[in-house]
């Protein structure tokens, strides 16, 4: 399993684990989605949904997605990540990500952290 994230809380928590973590520093939600898509094209499959949670993609800067190492191309994973990217683009056209205060950003980090931690039961 590999985690792709731009959330420092996720990186720090899973760094002490045997989980492979790819940390995308200073980049946003869309960058995580496109990196996940690149991995799926290389044979990975989704282990967590790329749009998990009730926070809209244009509201939070943080995202973490777990992928597996499926040797075959997983069409369902590819379809799901492409739909997630399309949703992100649609939401961002309507309203771009606000410039949140540090406190609000930390709240979004906690939400993303809780989602991935509970999805993986860690």
3-state DSSP assignment of residue 5: strand
3-state DSSP assignment of residue 59: coil
Contact 17, 84 (CB under 8 A): no
Contact 50, 81 (CB under 8 A): yes
| Token pair for 85 | 């990217």
> Of all residues in the chain, what percent carry a pLDDT higher than 90?
73
pLDDT in tens, 91-103: 989 888 889 999 9
Domain that holds residue 26: 2-119
When divided into structural domains, the chain yields a total of: 1
User: The pTM is what?
Assistant: 0.91
Residue 68 to residue 119: CA distance in whole angstroms: 14
Partnered with residue 67 across adjacent β-strands are 2, 46
pLDDT in tens, 77-88: 999 999 999 999
């Amino acid at each position: 399993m590999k985690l792709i994230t731009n959330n420092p809380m996720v990186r720090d928590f899973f760094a002490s684990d045997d989980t492979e973590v790819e940390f995308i520093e200073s980049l946003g939600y869309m960058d995580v989605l496109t990196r996940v898509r690149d991995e799926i094209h290389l044979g990975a499959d989704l282990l967590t949904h790329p749009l998990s949670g009730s926070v809209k993609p244009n509201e939070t800067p943080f995202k973490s997605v777990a992928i597996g190492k499926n040797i075959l191309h997983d069409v369902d994973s590819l379809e799901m990540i492409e739909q997630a990217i399309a949703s992100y683009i649609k939401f961002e056209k309507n309203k771009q990500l606000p410039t949140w205060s540090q406190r609000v950003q930390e709240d979004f980090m906690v939400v993303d952290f809780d989602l991935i931690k509970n999805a993986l039961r860690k």
